[in-house]
Structures are given as C-alpha cells and as structure tokens.
Amino acid sequence: MTCQFSRSSPNLIATGCYNGVVAIYDIRVPEDKPIADSKLLPGKHLDVVWEAQWVPRNTSGGADKGETLVSISSDGRVVEWSMKKGLEYQDLMNMKRQGNPANKEDNIEGINFRNTVGFSFDFLKNEGSVYLASTEDGTVHRCSKSYNEQYLENYFGHKGSVRG
C-alpha cells in the first residue's frame, strides 16, 4: 500500500502492506525477502498500513542520528519502528473517534473510546516530535510523540487535554 526509501540509508526501503505488516528491504540483497518485518510481532498493525515514513531521529541540527520508521493504519494506531535489535515498535498514538459537537448522534457517551481509521501523517519540519495525523472522519489532529493518549489540538482548533 505504501513504500518509501530511507534518506540516510538509501539502500533501505520500507513498505506498509494490506495485511498490516511493515517490512524493511535492503535493495543490495539479491533476495526478495525483507531484512526485518512485523509479521510475527505482537505490535503488528491489525489492518491496512496506509503510510510509512522514515523520520530523522535528530532535528536539532547536530550530528545525524539516523532514522526511525513511523506508520499509520486503519486500526487507528500510529507506530514508531526501530531496527536496534531486529524490528522493535512503540505506539505513538491510538487515535480515538472525535464526535462533532453539532451532531447530536456524535455526542453519545463513549464515542471517544472507539478508534478511528488513520490515513496519513506528516511530521512538522524541524520538529521531530510533533506531527499531524488525518483520519477517516475528516479531521486532522496535531499530535506529539510525548503524549500517546491525547491529541494536542484538532483541525478545528479545539484544545485537547494533555497529561504531562
């Protein structure tokens, strides 16, 4: 469903698949098998991976510290992948459905406990911890790698609660 070459290691390409698998291939290797994948990991996405991006670890202008891989899926999760010891993962966000205050049906108690489909994301330039994520319900949320349970702000500018 998606693929992207690494900027710091252009021989690596990351893919996100329909079955939820994130895989990393080294194009220098003659085999068509990934050098790492999430197929057997408990953190594997449970649905389609719509986007995967290599994100620089260091954005403060210092020495290059490589990249991590971030993916977003229809399962409502934004996940960061690292290749330190095989493929390791950390959930950055479990995106919750946000009700529309103008729609009485969306104000049903408990709606914020259902995940929403995540479609795409992008990290802010020179800000490696803040990113925007879009969802199936047409909202874009400002998120942070530091707060994985709450949005910082949604597309409409309403502040979300952030636990610190």
Q: Is the pLDDT of residue 163 over 50?
A: no
Query: For residue 158, what pLDDT is reported?
Result: 43
Given a contact cutoff of 8 angstroms between Cβ atoms, the answer to whether 116 and 103 are in contact is no
Query: For residue 107, what pLDDT is reported?
Result: 52
State pLDDT tens for residues 97-131: 766 555 555 555 544 556 788 899 999 887 778 89
Q: For all residues of the chain together, what is the average pLDDT? A: 82
160 Cβ contact list (under 8 Å, min separation 6): 150, 151, 152, 153, 154
pLDDT range class, residue 162, cuts 50, 70, 90: very low
pLDDT range class, residue 11, cuts 50, 70, 90: very high
Q: Which residue has the tokens 């057997």?
A: 40
More confident site: 76 or 126:
76
Query: For residue 96, what pLDDT is reported?
Result: 77
Quote the pTM value. Answer: 0.80
pLDDT range class, residue 49, cuts 50, 70, 90: very high
Between the CA of residue 135 and those of 46, 123, 127, what are the distances in Å?
16, 15, 21
